[in-house]
A and B are shown apart, each in its own frame.
Chain A
């Protein structure tokens, strides 16, 4: 299907087991896979969505397990348009690690990347991090905040659609005539916005 106008690279980071892959699978395939094995063979997943009248492809990358021992490659972050930092609301350690993740993001990712903090697993009873704590952390670090449940499909669609919309907005305000957008990524006929002005919080 070659009729999309934009392709955006979205990467997810966060501790092992917080539900990154489940979020992606839920969004791209509508599935929630039980079991706790690490992901094998999933490199990135693509989903085309419609924003306004335009077709937009989201290329959503998985860490491939390299986060387990803090060994995500720098190239993972390259040319990313949006970055989703995920923690598990029922696991304090995954929240405590956020500053470490932010340091890594600061070092490897472009400072113009759209950043979203996601507290996942809100379907669970044993919440350890209150929503306002998460929200406050996000605000302090200039990130959008959202709580989700990949299992119950809560807010997952909203998360990615919001990202798509925000990225589209940025792409449009670059004010280039469409056929002059020369910056393209691997899939051709697309536009990257890595040089766009700093994004503030999503509305």
Chain B
């Protein structure tokens, strides 16, 4: 009736959802059967190929179907090699569609191994791959979720394919960290960019210092700090300054084990007695890792 508003009850909604789900399940099963039954070594069924793209959009983690498509692609590559005139063009068209497919699959699960891998694999077989495009895609997905390690890995692969400057990547990394420094992937990526020398090591130290002071509980920054501290070009004075700063931090956060652990790293070659005391504090603060600290104590005691 024109204008009468009625709202479906939850029961009704549930029933409708169930029906829809069942439909989807049947369609999926049917599709899988169809595709797998037509899988051959040197020819493929175009209808099956089409159906398989539907399967992947619904569920991008079905490796089998990605592999099926890879088989078809290899057939296409062979075809194009045999066709001198238009082979390359046809192959490019076909591969572009393939790339589009992976694009369509990403939004539903941006962390699918299958999708990312397939995309990269396709590009490797592409006569004229557009790596810069890939770069933008990567940046986009990292902005959506900078803990998507698939994306970080992908980026690393790409950086090797195109000539991206170190500067550019450093800036990118700094931007990601400014956005959210609680992120192993971001810090790790940064550590893979270059070897630290005496020019830049202080800058890195300042950066990670800012992170550990802003939020001492966040472990990812501490790991990066440890890596930076392991660099031989750090001056002794710098280490002492940092130690002083940690003393101040400890005053503000007496219960934070990371601060104390940080002190340990700085004391490594220093005053033995202080080290032993510090390790003992850790045993109390972080009983979960008691074994590790006891180990340090034993090693230190050997030095006496």
User: Are chains A and B touching directly in their complex (CB below 8 angstroms)?
Assistant: yes
Partner-B contacts on A (CB < 8 A): 2-3, 21, 33-42, 177-180, 189
Partner of B3 from the list A41, A177, A180 (CB cut-off 8 Å) is A41
- Decide: A36 and B103 in contact? CB cutoff 8 A: no
- Decide: B108 and A2 in contact? CB cutoff 8 A: yes
- Decide: B2 and A177 in contact? CB cutoff 8 A: no
The 5 listed contacts between A and B (C-beta, < 8 Å) are A3-B104, A33-B1, A36-B2, A37-B3, A39-B2
- Decide: A178 and B103 in contact? CB cutoff 8 A: yes
- Decide: B137 and A35 in contact? CB cutoff 8 A: no
**Residue of B at shortest CB range from A3?**
B57
Give A36 to B3 CA distance when docked, in angstroms: 9
Question: Which 5 A-B pairs have CB atoms at the shortest separation, nearest pair first?
Answer: A41-B5, A33-B2, A35-B2, A37-B3, A40-B3
**Residue of A at shortest CB range from B137?**
A179
B180 CB-CB contact with A under 8 Å: no
- Please provide the chain B residues from 92 to 130 with a CB less than 8 Å away from any CB of chain A in the complex: 100, 103-104, 107-108
**Residue of B at shortest CB range from A5?**
B104
Give A143 to B108 CA distance when docked, in angstroms: 39
Name the interface size band of chain B.
10 to 19
Give A107 to B3 CA distance when docked, in angstroms: 30
Distance from A136 Cβ to chain B, minimum over Cβ atoms (Å): 33
Partner of A177 from the list B4, B57, B108, B136 (CB cut-off 8 Å) is B136
- Decide: B5 and A179 in contact? CB cutoff 8 A: no
- Decide: B2 and A179 in contact? CB cutoff 8 A: no
Specify which chain A residues have a CB less than 8 angstroms from the CB of B108 in the assembled complex: 2-3
B160 CB-CB contact with A under 8 Å: no
**Residue of B at shortest CB range from A22?**
B2
Partner-A contacts on B (CB < 8 A): 1-5, 57, 100, 103-104, 107-108, 133, 136-137, 140
Specify which chain B residues have a CB less than 8 angstroms from the CB of A35 in the assembled complex: 1-3
- Decide: B2 and A34 in contact? CB cutoff 8 A: yes
Distance from A64 Cβ to chain B, minimum over Cβ atoms (Å): 11
Specify which chain B residues have a CB less than 8 angstroms from the CB of A2 in the assembled complex: 107-108
**Residue of B at shortest CB range from A180?**
B136
**Residue of A at shortest CB range from B107?**
A189
- Decide: A179 and B136 in contact? CB cutoff 8 A: yes
**Known contacts A2-B108, A189-B107; is-contact A177 B1 (Cβ 8 Å):** no
Distance from A202 Cβ to chain B, minimum over Cβ atoms (Å): 27
Specify which chain B residues have a CB less than 8 angstroms from the CB of A39 in the assembled complex: 2-3
Distance from A127 Cβ to chain B, minimum over Cβ atoms (Å): 24
Distance from B28 Cβ to chain A, minimum over Cβ atoms (Å): 14
Give A41 to B3 CA distance when docked, in angstroms: 7
Distance from B265 Cβ to chain A, minimum over Cβ atoms (Å): 42
**Residue of B at shortest CB range from A177?**
B133
Give A21 to B1 CA distance when docked, in angstroms: 12
Give A21 to B140 CA distance when docked, in angstroms: 40
Specify which chain A residues have a CB less than 8 angstroms from the CB of B100 in the assembled complex: 178
Distance from A118 Cβ to chain B, minimum over Cβ atoms (Å): 20
Specify which chain B residues have a CB less than 8 angstroms from the CB of A178 in the assembled complex: 100, 103
Specify which chain A residues have a CB less than 8 angstroms from the CB of B2 in the assembled complex: 21, 33-37, 39
Distance from A16 Cβ to chain B, minimum over Cβ atoms (Å): 13
Specify which chain B residues have a CB less than 8 angstroms from the CB of A33 in the assembled complex: 1-2
Partner of A180 from the list B1, B4, B140 (CB cut-off 8 Å) is B140
- Decide: B3 and A179 in contact? CB cutoff 8 A: no
Specify which chain A residues have a CB less than 8 angstroms from the CB of B133 in the assembled complex: 177
Specify which chain A residues have a CB less than 8 angstroms from the CB of B4 in the assembled complex: 40
